[in-house]
């Protein structure tokens, strides 16, 4: 900290600290912590509310009795006595009404109770969707890795630097085009009367309801996020010294051995980044299932989260769902870092 002040002088250092603080505490840490807190409580009817409602019922009965007493009192002939009795009854009635108001307030005002029940709200149906989302996202990552590895290797190692640069620039274009447009292209292709079904029709097949079966979500997801695998892989493979590959070949290694022992170990950070990005984007994607199902196929977990917040308006359960998704992504990141022995510094390059 003193180094900061020495390096920039007090006024500038204060501005740096202030801005960093607003970002780290105000925009990153505080919202996450509040979300965690929100997932851990809910508003409940207060404890003993059943006893209170019995008590309230008793008081209402008492009011009825007072009503009877009053009609008896009103038939009293002695006016002085009648007045005092009626006044006493009115006072008692007012006291009971006040007590009822207090008790009813107590009965109906929910209290904040800390509980893990929000996570338990998931039930088997939502849990199945959660599991499906995770498995499908893992599959997207795996497919992207298998498809992209040869591409990245071929571009980085087999092409001249000039051609490689041109190829990567060409790939930047679909990468930079808005996610929604890439998804929409597939919605058109897989639509009931789209080109995919037209082609199947020419081959004599019945139309396939790609969108309504949820298959469309998966196809569009692979397409939308596959380029997040190509670029990290290419970036690490570009730094691989071709002499290493040559040396391995001269020493008699087979192609498979070269990749297993030389290329893949070198590509670890790229593999980690690619897998983390594709998994995180798939599991956290709202756009793809939203556009690719039109609500006809089973929802994606992100849609459940959205509904908890903006349709069912149960923010506590929504926060618990969101936190579950975040936890899965965090675990995945640590697993990849462990498995591929890379640090966060390698990942964020």
Partner 1 sequence: MTRAVSGSTFVLRLYMALFFAYMFLPLGVMVAAGVNDYSPPSITVWQGFTLRWFAEFWGDARMWLGLANSLLIAAAVMALALPMGLSGALLLSQLGRRSAGLLYTVMVSPLLTPGIIIGISTVIFWRNLDVTAGLFTAILAQSAFIASYAMLMFMARLQRQDLTLEEAALDLGASRARAFRRITLPFLKPTIMTAAVIAFLQSFENYNTTIFSIGGNHTLVTEIGARMRFGISPMINALGILFIVVTVICAVAWAALRRREYQLESVK
Does 134 bind partner 1 (CB under 8 A)? Our answer is no
Cβ-based nearer residue to partner 1, 56 or 152: 152
Cβ-based nearer residue to partner 1, 73 or 262: 262
With contacts defined by CB under 8 A, name the span among 26-34, 65-73, 88-96, 113-121 that binds partner 1. 26-34
Shortest gap between Cβ of 261 and partner 1 (angstroms)? 19
Cβ-based nearer residue to partner 1, 274 or 284: 284
With contacts defined by CB under 8 A, name the span among 55-63, 232-240, 242-250, 282-290 that binds partner 1. 282-290
Residue list 38-67, contact with partner 1 (CB under 8 A): 38
Does 162 bind partner 1 (CB under 8 A)? Our answer is no
With contacts defined by CB under 8 A, name the span among 77-85, 118-126, 260-268, 321-329 that binds partner 1. 321-329
**For the chain, what is the HEC assignment?**
CHHHHHHHCHHHHHHHHHHHHHHHHHHHHHHHHHHHHHHCEEEECCCCHHHHHHHHHHHHHHHHHHHHHHHHHHCCCCHHHHHHHHHHHHHHHHHHHHHHHHHHHHHHCCEEEECCHHHHCCHHHHHHHHHHHHHHHHHHHHHHHHHHHHHHHHHHHHCCHHHHHHHHHHHHHHHHCCHHHHHHHHHHHHCCCCHHHHHHHHCCCCCCCHHHHCHHHHHHHHHHHCHHHHHHHHHHHHCCCHHHHHHHHHCCCCHHHHHHHHHHHHHHHHHHHHHHHHHHHHHCCCHHHHHHHCCCCCCCHHHHHHHHHHCCCCHHHHHHHHHHHHHHHHHHHHHHHHHHCCCHHHHCC
x/- mask, partner 1, residues 178-217, rule CB under 8 A, reads xxxxxxxxxxxx-x-xxx--x-------------------
Does 135 bind partner 1 (CB under 8 A)? Our answer is no
Cβ-based nearer residue to partner 1, 103 or 151: 151
x/- mask, partner 1, residues 288-307, rule CB under 8 A, reads --xx--x-------x--xx-
Residue list 112-131, contact with partner 1 (CB under 8 A): none
Does 227 bind partner 1 (CB under 8 A)? Our answer is yes
């Amino acid at each position: 900290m003193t180094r900061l002040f020495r390096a920039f002088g007090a006024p500038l250092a204060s501005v740096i600290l202030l801005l960093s603080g607003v970002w780290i505490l105000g925009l990153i840490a505080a919202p996450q912590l509040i979300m965690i807190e929100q997932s851990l409580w809910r508003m409940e009817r207060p404890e003993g509310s059943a006893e209170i409602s019995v008590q309230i019922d008793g008081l209402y009965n008492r009011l009825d009795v007072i009503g009877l007493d009053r009609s008896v009192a009103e038939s009293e002939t002695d006016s002085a006595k009648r007045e005092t009795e009626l006044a006493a009854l009115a006072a008692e009635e007012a006291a009971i009404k006040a007590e009822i108001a207090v008790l009813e307030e107590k009965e109906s005002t929910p209290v904040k109770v800390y509980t893990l029940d929000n996570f338990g709200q998931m039930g088997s149906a939502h849990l199945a969707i959660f599991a499906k989302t995770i498995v499908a996202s893992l599959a997207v990552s795996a497919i992207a890795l298998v498809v992209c590895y040869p591409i990245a290797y071929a571009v980085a190692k087999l092409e001249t630097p000039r051609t490689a640069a041109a190829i990567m620039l060409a790939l930047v274009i679909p990468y930079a085009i808005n996610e929604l447009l890439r998804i929409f292209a597939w919605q058109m292709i897989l639509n009931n009367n789209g080109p995919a079904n037209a082609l199947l029709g020419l081959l004599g097949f019945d139309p396939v309801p790609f969108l309504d079966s949820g298959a469309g979500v998966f196809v569009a997801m692979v397409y939308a996020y596959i380029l997040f695998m190509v670029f990290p892989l290419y970036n690490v493979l570009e730094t691989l010294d071709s002499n290493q590959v040559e040396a391995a070949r001269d020493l008699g290694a087979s192609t498979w051995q070269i990749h297993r022992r030389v290329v893949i170990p070198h590509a670890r950070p790229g593999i980690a980044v690619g897998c983390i990005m594709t998994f995180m984007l798939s599991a956290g994607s709202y756009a793809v299932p939203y556009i690719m199902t039109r609500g006809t196929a089973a929802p994606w977990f992100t849609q459940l989260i959205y509904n908890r917040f903006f349709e069912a308006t149960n923010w506590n359960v929504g926060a618990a769902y969101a936190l579950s998704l975040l936890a899965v992504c965090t675990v995945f990141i640590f697993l990849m870092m462990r498995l591929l022995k890379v640090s966060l510094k390698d990942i964020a390059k």
